[in-house]
Amino acid sequence: MFERVPRTAPKTDSTGLTPREFFIAEIQAWAASHDGQPPRHVDWHITKAQRRGIRYEEGWPSPIPLTNHFGSWAQALEAAGFDPRRPGAPSYDVHCVDCGAEAITRQPTTDTRCRRCAVFYGRHGMPWSEENADFRTWTEISVTNALHYWVECYGEPPSATDWNPAPSQHRHEITRPRFEEDGCWPYLNTVRTVFGTWNAAMHAAGLPVRMERMHCLTPAQRDEAARRYLDGEDAGVVAEEFGCTVSNVRQLAKVRS
């Protein structure tokens, strides 16, 4: 059962510490108060802890800046002096062609790049390297590249909620873990700064806007899509047949249920 409890270790004094040193100190502080075991990603991820029904300690760093800084959770544990391999976890003898990192705890997203470098390449159209690791300026080109790469990863365009993870956490949706684990998507406010509006970005990338897709359906089509989903048909199959998104199908079913 999900339970929120206070932090068990003393709070780390961040005075004079770089972000890297602070994160390492926090990982080591967790291990010192948990029988020498480093934290799992889920231990510092409230949404995942809620879904899995486990205990969540408040007061630890969010996984977002940590994985963004080190590239992955496994690399952060290695930097803190721990072996990220857990008993029974698969090990892949694959190294990323861009950063050279070994895919230790999960299979890489491509045959040649780890997840961080694959997302970075999809975002900027160039390989990750130490020289361009801090290339964080979002332009119209890099935002549209990110939109297209999201479609490649998840099969449909993102919604504004997908790139605005804070509200998603409060609504207990699945979008925040997806945003955090990938680590290199622009925030909604960033997209609005570059294009003015979310819909303008979608149109610039040649992608249909979610509400426009649903409004293209006739009332009879909406009823049919909702009925088939409520009868147990896969939402992806229904969405593909009616030319809308999985979220559209679920929303229509929710209204009619």
Burial class (CB in 10 A: 0-12, 13-18, 19+), 11: exposed
Rounded-to-integer distance, Cα 183 and Cα 180, Å: 5
Whether 80 and 28 have beta carbons less than 8 Å apart is answered as yes
pLDDT tens, position by position, 46-92: 888 887 778 889 889 888 788 777 777 888 888 898 877 655 444 44
Tell the residue number behind the tokens 């998603």, with chain if given.
Answer: 168
Q: What is the DSSP secondary-structure string of 114-174?
A: -HHHHHHHHHHSS---TTTTT-----HHHHHHHHHHHHHHHSSPPPTGGG-HHHHHHTT-S
Burial class (CB in 10 A: 0-12, 13-18, 19+), 42: middle
Each domain of the chain, given as residue ranges in start order, spans 1-82, 85-135, 137-207, 210-256
Has this prediction a pTM greater than 0.85?
no
pLDDT tens, position by position, 113-150: 666 676 666 666 666 665 555 555 677 887 888 888 88
Q: Which pLDDT band, with edges at 50, 70 and 90, does 28 fall under?
A: very high
pLDDT tens, position by position, 33-53: 988 888 988 888 888 888 777
pLDDT at residue 51 in the model: 76
Whether 155 and 236 have beta carbons less than 8 Å apart is answered as yes
Summarize the confidence of residues 8-21 as an average pLDDT: 86
